[in-house]
Structure 1
Amino acid sequence: METSDTRRAVETAGAAASALGLEVDDAVVIHDSDRIAMRLVPCDVLVRVAPSAHRADFAFEVEVARRLAEVDGPVAELDPRVDPRVHLRDDFVLSFWTYYEPVGAEIAPADYADALMRHHAALRKVDLKAPHVTERIAGALSEVSDREQTPELSGPDRELLSSTLRSVSAAISGGEAGEQLLHGEPHPGNLLNTRRGPLFVDLATCCVGPIEFDLAHAPEDVDEHYPEADHDLIHQCRAVMWALFSTWRWRRDDQFPDRHHWRAEGLNRVRVALDRRGPDRA
């Protein structure tokens, strides 16, 4: 968010928490892009805040978290002191989460795979309507095709993203791989190492697709510890994952930190992922 919006969001979060009976002396911003995550102290609650246009996404994430908590999924939980719903205040939507003190050790590949397998098992127990991953790809393809949405994207790079999104979407929608509810973006930034063990966060990206789409977001050595994963499909999904990431960085109104670096780096990683698919792939 812009600096002024961030300041307003922090003030709104503090006021909303105080109105709910939580003690707030200070706020520590943990993440700031199109939405903000902050830790309020001394009540020790994590608050996610965004403009009211994100209300549907926030409501979906709260529902996913609530359902997964009921089946003991390895996910961060909503704060039990606050009603498990989206809260509205001023022009913002807010959700209140348990704050987990991070553990410094890096999550080992086997433990990462175990957390993802348990997460997938919990998701299979949840009856929840979610978009198919190909809908997300179609949305990105629409933005790549719209020069008003991605005005600074060059012709060759636009073609690279477009062809990657089309070809891999066709491979994923072919119906050969089994499908289920997924996290959607279980990259290392969305897996916390806590005293309770690894816990997934940022659940608004939940979608339907093959487990390989989730594995494509994890470090590359994680899939070796996930039985029966299709490694060829993982390589294809990794290419489309970086194509999605790159598309979002080229959006006119993207607010991702250091986005100029990640615009170039994202395109490079698309090329690397495509090379790893092998010469027989289009």
Structure 2
Amino acid sequence: MTAETMPDPTSEILRTACARAGLDSAGATVLNRSENVIYRLPGSVVARISRPGQRAAALREVEVARWLESVDVPAVRVLPQTDQPIVVDDQAVTFWRELPPHRHGTPTEVAGALRKLHALTPPATFDLGRLDPFVRLGQRIESASTISADDREWMREHLAELKEHWTRLPEGLPWCVVHGDAWVGNVVATEDGEVVMLDLERTSIGPPEWDTVHTAIKYKSLGQITEDEYRSFCEVYGSDVTMWDGYELLRDLREFRMTTMAAQTAVTIEADQPQADHRIACLRGRLGPRPWSGWWPVPSR
């Protein structure tokens, strides 16, 4: 049986969760397979199936979405009147309203959304918890079966170094509500101009620089946006993370997370294997100093 003809284990999880929620799963289509599996259901509903053991993260994402709706911050909305998450075989399933047509946010749109989010008073009804920049990194490294043994050992050692450096993170802006994964795919703009935040499972209390460093990486590490675009981002947000003493640590952490994500998707998507190897080569200094070219989104479409 080939990978293409093998039954999809998440389809049965979806059917079970939909039945419990009173929703119709007939005709469901896959929108994305990455950290989570995303399905479109009839009636403009989106189902999100987590990896095993992520119930707490899924519950927090639902709580964050409901809180942001209550304070009128544009973000993906939970399907109302549905008890969530629904856990099937240790995988959490959540249900959401489908967004209207949208595109990735621009740097200035991301900056505006982050400035608004970072100014919020944390919710009183539940605990956001503190940012964990190392969540799932160890598991990704150990399960990355396509990388070489030498690269795996280097990644283990580099992860240990990053964890030690994190304990000495320099003081920066006051910790606040952070999105946790604020790249342009998670801050989108609809056709009517509304800027909406997605993927709220890592929202927590942490250094605001954790959210702004991703745009800095797109400029200084990857050359994917122009200097003018980055300067506009800084002007709208109100500060430049690259001027902070902790920038290089957060940059290294973010780049490492991006690399482990590619190593994770390469296990099931053969087309992502060269991308995982390329990112590791960049981090290990095999392809020269930043900026690096050739970093493409994963998973491959």
TM-score (norm 2): 0.71
Structure 2 counterpart of 1:126, from 123, 148, 167:
123
Hey, what does 1:117 align to over in structure 2?
115
For 2:127, the aligned partner's letter is K
Distance 1:184 1:5 in 2: 34
For 1:183, the aligned partner's letter is H
Distance 1:6 1:215 in 2: 40
Structure 2 counterpart of 1:186, from 179, 182, 185:
182
Deviation, structure 1 residue 163: 7.3
For 1:54, the aligned partner's letter is Q
Distance 1:58 1:5 in 2: 27
Q: Deviations over 1:31-76 (max 9, x none)?
A: 11353111112x1100011355222221121122222221122210
| Contact in 2 for aligned 1:9/1:92 (Cα 8 Å) | no
Deviation, structure 1 residue 109: 2.2
Distance 1:190 1:79 in 2: 19
- More displaced 10-residue stretch of structure 1: 250-259 or 198-207: 250-259
CA gap 1:264/1:89 in 2 versus in 1, 3 angstroms:
closer
Gaps of at least 5 residues in structure 2 are: 220-229, 292-301
Q: Deviations over 1:152-183 (max 9, x none)?
A: 343884387347625752452x3344211211
Structure 1 counterpart of 2:236, from 215, 225, 234:
225
For 2:259, the aligned partner's letter is S
Hey, what does 1:152 align to over in structure 2?
149
Distance 1:73 1:230 in 2: 24
Distance 1:166 1:19 in 2: 41
| Contact in 1 for aligned 2:69/2:77 (Cα 8 Å) | yes
| Mapping of residues 65-214 of structure 1, within 5 Å | 65-83=65-83, 85-89=84-88, 92-104=91-103, 106-122=104-120, 124-127=121-124, 128-133=126-131, 135-137=132-134, 140=137, 152-154=149-151, 157-158=154-155, 161-162=158-159, 165-166=162-163, 168-172=165-169, 174-194=170-190, 195=192, 197-214=194-211
| Contact in 1 for aligned 2:151/2:280 (Cα 8 Å) | no
Q: Deviations over 1:176-219 (max 9, x none)?
A: 44211211111122123224612111111123322111111234
User: Are positions 1:50 and 2:63 aligned together?
Assistant: no
Gaps of at least 5 residues in structure 1 are: 277-282
SS state at 1:199 partner: strand
Deviation, structure 1 residue 89: 3.7
SS state at 1:217 partner: helix
Structure with the higher fraction of residues in helix conformation: 1
Deviation, structure 1 residue 99: 0.4
Hey, what does 1:26 align to over in structure 2?
27
Deviation, structure 1 residue 268: 5.0
| Contact in 2 for aligned 1:180/1:211 (Cα 8 Å) | yes
Hey, what does 1:10 align to over in structure 2?
11
Q: How many residues matched? A: 268
Distance 2:149 2:7 in 1: 26
Distance 1:252 1:13 in 2: 21
Hey, what does 2:257 align to over in structure 1?
244
Deviation, structure 1 residue 256: 7.1
SS state at 1:39 partner: strand
Distance 2:236 2:184 in 1: 16
Distance 1:179 1:5 in 2: 46
Hey, what does 1:280 align to over in structure 2?
none
| Contact in 2 for aligned 1:184/1:206 (Cα 8 Å) | yes
Distance 1:249 1:130 in 2: 27
CA gap 1:216/1:180 in 2 versus in 1, 3 angstroms:
same
CA gap 1:114/1:247 in 2 versus in 1, 3 angstroms:
same
| Contact in 1 for aligned 2:55/2:90 (Cα 8 Å) | no
| Contact in 2 for aligned 1:141/1:165 (Cα 8 Å) | no
% identical aligned pairs: 20
